[in-house]
Amino acid sequence: DQQVKQNSPSLSVQEGRISILNCDYTNSMFDYFLWYKKYPAEGPTFLISISSIKDKNEDGRFTVFLNKSAKHLSLHIVPSQPGDSAVYFCAASDGAGNMLTFGGGTRLMVKP
């Protein structure tokens, strides 16, 4: 039973436009959420995170939104750049704060 789901396996966006990546979770004990970016043959790289006490966190071109009632979070990238093309993973942790539970990933392709 997947506790973190990314329902879109891929997303294609034009350079300069907004990319929106979505993530749903089922475990109400999750209280910290992270987005990781992964290039081929490399490990995941931390991008941005959000605590459940917030509903928005912004870092440059990246913004994460959290809707606790819907158990949904999204990552917005504005403006999208070709270098953003990668696989993006949503991850969550609970109050114990140790292991991360990952979604299956969304492959983002930003076309020049």
CB of 99 vs another protein, minimal distance in Å: 4
Cβ-in-10-Å burial (0-12, 13-18, 19+) of 40 comes to exposed
Whether residue 79 is preceded by a cis peptide bond, meaning omega within 30 degrees of 0, is: yes
CB of 36 vs another protein, minimal distance in Å: 8
User: CA-to-CA distance for 48 and 73, rounded, in angstroms?
Assistant: 12
Number of residues that bind another protein (CB under 8 A): 24
For position 46 contacting another protein by CB under 8 A, the verdict is yes
For position 23 contacting another protein by CB under 8 A, the verdict is no
At 37, list the tokens.
């970016």
From 25, 30, 33, 89, residue interacting with another protein (rule: CB under 8 A): 89
From 36, 50, 85, 86, residue interacting with another protein (rule: CB under 8 A): 36
State residue 82 phi and psi, 5-degree precision.
-55, -35
Interface contacts to another protein, rule CB under 8 A: 4, 6, 32, 34, 36, 41-46, 49, 89, 91, 93, 97-105
